[in-house]
């Protein structure tokens, strides 16, 4: 981390402002500390910029680990998306109670996989990438309840195919 200092006269000095703006555009800025120094006609802004060497991230580049966002409404069937939405609502409630980010409970990708696969057992839930023993043990019961409450039941996967309501005696 490095530090650069600037002073910008309060009564306008476009050269000083442009120098600061040019610096900010060409460096990876960590923080900017600013303080107004009141000295009558000689008042100015004192700025210190903490930065790292190297170009700033491109405005055109995606900000989330260079991954494109997925629109699950387009990639999931309407029924799967409805289940996905219920799972997201549940996840939000759990995350708020635990005081963690929603992705720390389950990611959108994991919720979409659960909605598409509709597991009926913890073992099938653990087959979803990223859902290991810990998450399955902690959240599995609630997730499986939400999945079980969704229809159609014939799409449930635990290694067998469940009978549809018309096929049950």
pLDDT digits (tens, 9 = 90+) for 135-164: 999 999 999 999 999 865 444 455 444 444
116 near 76, Cβ under 8 Å? yes
Domain that holds residue 93: 72-167
Residue 154 within any structural domain of the chain: yes
For the chain, how many structural domains are there in total?
A: 2
Identify which of 77, 148, 83, 153 has the alpha carbon closest to the alpha carbon of residue 111.
83
In a domain, 59, yes or no: no
In a domain, 128, yes or no: yes
Beta pairing partners, 5: 48
> Are 79 and 108 members of one domain?
yes
- Are 3 and 50 in contact by the 8 Å Cβ rule? The answer is yes
- pLDDT band, residue 93 (cuts 50/70/90): very high
One domain for residues 98 and 43: no
| Same domain assignment for residues 36 and 95 | no
- Cα end-to-end distance, the chain, whole Å: 72
The yes-or-no verdict on residue 112 having pLDDT over 50 is yes
- Residue 146 has what pLDDT? 94
In the predicted model, what is the mean pLDDT of the chain? 81
Q: How far, in Å, CA of 152 to CA of 18, rounded?
A: 62
Report the pLDDT value the prediction gives residue 169, as an integer from 0 to 100.
39
Instruction: Tell me the mean pLDDT in the region 25-42.
Output: 87
Domain of residue 113, CATH code: 1.10.150.80
């Amino acid at each position: 981390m490095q530090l650069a200092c600037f002073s910008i006269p309060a009564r306008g000095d476009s050269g000083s402002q442009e120098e600061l703006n040019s610096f900010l555009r060409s460096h990876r800025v960590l923080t900017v500390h600013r303080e107004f120094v009141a000295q009558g006609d000689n008042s100015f802004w004192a700025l210190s910029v903490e930065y790292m060497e190297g170009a700033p991230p491109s405005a055109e580049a995606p900000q989330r680990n260079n991954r494109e966002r997925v629109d699950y409404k387009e990639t999931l069937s309407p029924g799967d998306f409805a289940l996905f939405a219920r799972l997201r609502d549940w996840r939000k409630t759990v995350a708020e109670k635990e005081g963690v980010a929603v992705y720390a409970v389950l990611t959108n990708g994991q919720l979409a996989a659960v909605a598409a696969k509709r597991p009926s057992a913890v073992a099938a839930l653990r087959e979803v990438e990223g859902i290991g023993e810990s998450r399955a043990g902690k959240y599995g019961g609630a997730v499986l309840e939400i999945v079980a409450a969704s229809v159609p039941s014939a799409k449930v996967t635990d290694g067998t195919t469940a009978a549809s309501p018309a096929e049950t005696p």
